[in-house]
Amino acid sequence: MRKFYKIFYLQIIPIFILGFSIGVISIWPGIISGNSRKCFFNILKDGSDGSIKIGTALSINPNYLLKIKKNKNKYLKILLIGDSCFRRF
């Protein structure tokens, strides 16, 4: 049983983390950029109280704003915000 845990911790978990990282970077290539992460966190911080500043609203593509407003699922809203920040270069 100890051999299983040793294999699990030394092989399976690092491969999973590497695969997850490569998957996220391939979907959102801009996640590596510092400016994109600032955009993402500024939008989340600014919109957390329910109101958004005009500067923040203008930084997002209008199509994404409409999609974000229509969704009621918070997870999908975060994905759309990520798309708007991380997919533009």
Predicted confidence (pLDDT) per residue in 8-25, tens digit: 888 888 999 999 999 988
Q: What's the pLDDT at 63?
A: 79
Q: Calculate the alpha carbon distances from 63 to 4, 19, 57 in Å.
A: 49, 31, 11
Note the pLDDT tens digit of each residue in 56-73.
777 777 777 778 778 888
The stretches of 1-89 forming alpha helices (DSSP H) are: 2-7, 13-27, 34-47, 54-58, 62-70, 74-86
The pLDDT-based confidence of 88 (bands split at 50, 70, 90) is: low
| 39 vs 51 pLDDT, higher one | 39
Helix (H, G, I), strand (E, B) or coil at 72: coil
- What is the pLDDT of the chain when averaged over all its residues? 81
Q: What's the pLDDT at 9?
A: 83
Q: Which two tokens stand for residue 62?
A: 């209008």
pTM of the entire predicted model = 0.61
Does the pLDDT at position 83 exceed 70?
Answer: yes
Q: Which two tokens stand for residue 55?
A: 């500067």
For the chain, domain boundaries:
2-86
